[in-house]
Amino acid sequence: MLGHDVIHLRGLEFYAYHGALPEEQILGQKFLIDIDLFSDLSQAGSSDRVEDTIHYGEVYHVIKTCVIGERHQLVERLAEDIAQRVLGQFSCTSVRVEVHKPQAPIPGIFGDVSVEIWRTAGDRV
């Protein structure tokens, strides 16, 4: 059953300055990233060699660079940037990226706001 292998990175937490409101660009806030990397992991499962898989430490570094290295008004744009960079740098066939903005400026009580996107290697923007 090839094609169903996945590497999950969950709850990557960063402090950054994304948002459409001026205060968000000045004060910043916490962002959480979840990502799923879909790839055939059978070679790594057989060889037990890091060279045969997607190095999740390197993926983390790419995500960190996207989140804290640039500023976007929309978390949709941030999610797209993460997806495109990961697809461009690693041998995954598709990714699911979820960007959580738990302190979004909403006048009410809520647990979380998030955006989720799915992209494949052929979906280059």
Q: State yes or no: is 30 an active-site residue.
A: no
DSSP state of 23: H
According to the model, what pLDDT value does residue 124 have? 61
pLDDT tens digits for range 21-69: 999 999 999 999 999 999 999 999 999 999 999 999 999 999 999 999 9
pTM above 0.85, yes or no: yes
- Cβ atoms 56, 35 nearer than 8 A: no
Beta bridge partners of 31: 14
When pLDDT is cut at 50, 70 and 90, the band that residue 4 belongs to is: confident
- For residue 106, count CB atoms less than 10 angstroms from its CB and return exposed for 0-12, middle for 13-18, buried for 19 or more: exposed
Name the token pair of 59.
């993926």
Mean per-residue pLDDT over the chain, rounded = 94
Q: Residue 92: how many CA atoms within 13 Å on its side-chain side?
A: 28
Tell me which of 18, 100, 101, 119 is the catalytic residue.
101
